[in-house]
Amino acid sequence: MAVIGTGKMGADHVRRLHEVISGARVAAVADIEPERAKSLAATIEECTAYTEPAAAMASQEVDAVLVASPGPAHEAALVEALDRGLPVLCEKPMTPDTASSLRILEAEQRLGRRRIQVGFMRRYDVEYAKLKGLLDGGELGRALMLHQRHRNLAMPPGFTDEMLITSSVSHEVDATRWLLDEEIAAVTVHKPRATSLAPDGMNDPQFVLLETVSGALVDVEIFGHCGYGYQVQAEAVCERGTVRIGDEQGLRVSVEGRWGGHVPPDYVERFEDAYDREVQAWVDATRRGEVTGPSAWDGYAASAVCEAGVVSQRQGGRVEVELVERPDLYR
């Protein structure tokens, strides 16, 4: 396969495909930074480095594509892959706005079959999957509320207020739609006073309230500069009980009069197992000629919710989410 974008996620996926995943081989990598692609390709046998994503996808050796370039570059890569009929695993967000996501939905429908999986890997996390199983099983009754927390040690340079929603909260948006099996109808973003640890001008943390079509309420704390590690937690409040995930269950060490555990520094460590499961499931489905994970519709719906969130972030107040009718391909 070809991996497009060889930065933090792309390089980690190349390592994963090479060392962990069975049934796939990285034959091509592409990055607009030639040296980055070249030095990564040099670590893999029979892997060619390209600067043009289209050239990597054109290689006779390539049957599938993993897109890990930045969000604004995804549309061009997805169009290229669809034109070639190649299956794609595209890192989230599918595209950064609703108009471009709609163009991708339309292009895939013209092809007449699903080719795109979007990298919402929380669905492959063991605890999230158990939570989904419990909610679907009905033992706890209907879910009434979700509380979600998404905390980062610090954000990379260039990370904006908008990206807190479009890049970070997009994970909770997808988790909400998937866990509750319904669309999100409205978004309200609140901005508490900002931490002094955030760059000037960034409102960090933010508190996002999602309302689902059937009236469930979902809150998301997004905190970009919590300063102590990467933490993702969720709690479902249901009619007959509650269920929490994301409380670190690793080693509890007692030493020198204190007890404690480890908070991972970032998502690469926290969700390592989920990424492994996501990519293995995608490779297995691709070899069977199927697409089984989060679809282009899920990518589009997340973009639409995040776009409403950005409007609320700028203007204040509650903003309704507008979705086109769900096409037959995604029913």
Is 322 a binder of ligand NAD (CB under 6 A)? no
Is 180 a binder of ligand NAD (CB under 6 A)? no
- Which amino acid is residue 267, in one-letter code? Y
| Of the residues 1, 5, 128, 220, which one makes contact with ligand NAD according to CB under 6 A | 5
CA angle 34, 107, 54 (to 5 degrees): 20
Distance of closest approach, residue 325 Cβ to ligand NAD, in angstroms: 27
Is 295 a binder of ligand NAD (CB under 6 A)? no
Closest CA to 70 of 49, 94, 50: 94
Distance CA 298, CA 8 (A): 24
- Which amino acid is residue 259, in one-letter code? W
Tokens standing for residue 200: 């000037």
Residues with Cβ within 8 Å of 42's Cβ and at least 6 positions away in sequence, in order, are none
Tokens standing for residue 144: 């009434």
| Of the residues 69, 206, 212, 231, which one makes contact with ligand NAD according to CB under 6 A | 69
Which range, of 70-78, 147-155, 192-200, 208-216, touches ligand NAD by CB under 6 A? Answer: 70-78
Distance of closest approach, residue 255 Cβ to ligand NAD, in angstroms: 32
**Residues that contact ligand NAD, how many (by CB under 6 A):** 24
Distance CA 37, CA 4 (A): 9
Number of neighbours of residue 54 by Cβ within 10 angstroms: 16
DSSP state of 156: P
Is 298 a binder of ligand NAD (CB under 6 A)? no
Nearest CB to ligand NAD, comparing residues 99 and 145: 99
Is 205 a binder of ligand NAD (CB under 6 A)? no
DSSP 170-183: HHHHHHHHHHHTS-
Q: How many residues does the chain have?
A: 331
Nearest CB to ligand NAD, comparing residues 87 and 188: 87
| Of the residues 36, 114, 132, 150, which one makes contact with ligand NAD according to CB under 6 A | 36
Is 71 a binder of ligand NAD (CB under 6 A)? yes
| Of the residues 3, 21, 30, 40, which one makes contact with ligand NAD according to CB under 6 A | 30
Is 10 a binder of ligand NAD (CB under 6 A)? yes
Please give the helix or strand (H or E) that residue 184 lies within, else none. Answer: strand 184-190
DSSP 231-269: EEEEEEEESS-EEEE----S--EEETTEEE----SSHHH
Residue with CB nearest ligand NAD?
7
Closest CA to 210 of 171, 244, 240, 238: 171
How far, in whole angstroms, is CA 120 from its chain's centroid? 4
Distance of closest approach, residue 158 Cβ to ligand NAD, in angstroms: 9
Is 267 a binder of ligand NAD (CB under 6 A)? yes
Distance CA 248, CA 257 (A): 21
Nearest CB to ligand NAD, comparing residues 69 and 188: 69
| Of the residues 2, 9, 21, 302, which one makes contact with ligand NAD according to CB under 6 A | 9
Which range, of 68-76, 200-208, 232-240, 279-287, touches ligand NAD by CB under 6 A? Answer: 68-76
Binding positions for ligand NAD, 109-138, rule CB under 6 A: 119, 121
Which range, of 14-22, 30-38, 202-210, 246-254, touches ligand NAD by CB under 6 A? Answer: 30-38
Is 8 a binder of ligand NAD (CB under 6 A)? yes
Tokens 């996002």 locate to 208
Nearest CB to ligand NAD, comparing residues 56 and 308: 56
| Binding positions for ligand NAD, rule: CB under 6 A | 4-10, 30-33, 36, 53, 68-71, 73, 91-92, 119, 121, 167, 267
